[in-house]
Homo-oligomer: A and B are copies of this chain.
Amino acid sequence: MAEPQDRRNLIISCAAELFARKGVGATTVREIADAVGILSGSLYHHFESKDAIVDEVLGYYLDNIKKRYAEVMAGEKSPAERLHELVYASLVVAEECPHATVIYQNELHYLREQPRFRHVQLAAADIQQTWLQVINEGVRDGSFRDNIEPRVFYRSIRDAVWLSTRWHRPKGPNPTERLAEDVTSIFLDGFSAKPRPAIPPAARRHRDRSATGC
């Protein structure tokens, strides 16, 4: 049952965990090999270099994001609904690839300095473009404010969403769906208590959970 791919994937998985915790540059091939249970020299039967392992980790992760964002943009939804779906899609990816998410967030700036990881920079530009397109659509059609720079809003929600991997536990009392709703609600509705608005807010997708006590 043990396919050759399993061995390769085990290496990628162990390496990702170390890269995320210690940083790529501070992780040694010996540590990766130790985690897998083999000697460092044996790694080079599967990968031609340490950087090649980094490539593999980030490649799968970025393709995952790209695919899910494309699905969101394919649907015909309002900007507010799309924003919620982008948040949810990001959290699902972060749940599936928590280590890669951390690596990407912590080391993007350094990785893009190296020509080796040029494809990471290109993917990052694509991701930003998707968010900004949704935000700008919302500003244009009047559902989002026009007195906040779209870029400031984008950076804020992006950081809040992607860095949730540092603290959010999907298995805990806050499942991913709930977190996506809460984050979207914070960023669209705000954290201020609403003084029973005379004009009810346009259909929002989140239930009121004030009575659940959690």
Contact = CB atoms under 8 A, between A and B. Distances in A.
Given A106-B106, A107-B23, A155-B164, A201 B192 contact: yes
Nearest to A113: B21
Interface in A26-46: 26
Interface string A192-210: 1111111101100000111
- Interface size of A as a range: 35 or more
Given A21-B109, A155-B164, A210 B149 contact: no
Interface in A73-131: 80, 106-107, 109-110, 113
A9 interface: no
Interface of A: 21-26, 80, 106-107, 109-110, 113, 142-149, 152-153, 155-157, 159-160, 163-164, 166-168, 174, 179, 182-183, 185-199, 201-202, 208-210, 214
A214 B209 CA distance: 37
Contact of A26 (B23, B109, B166, B198): B23
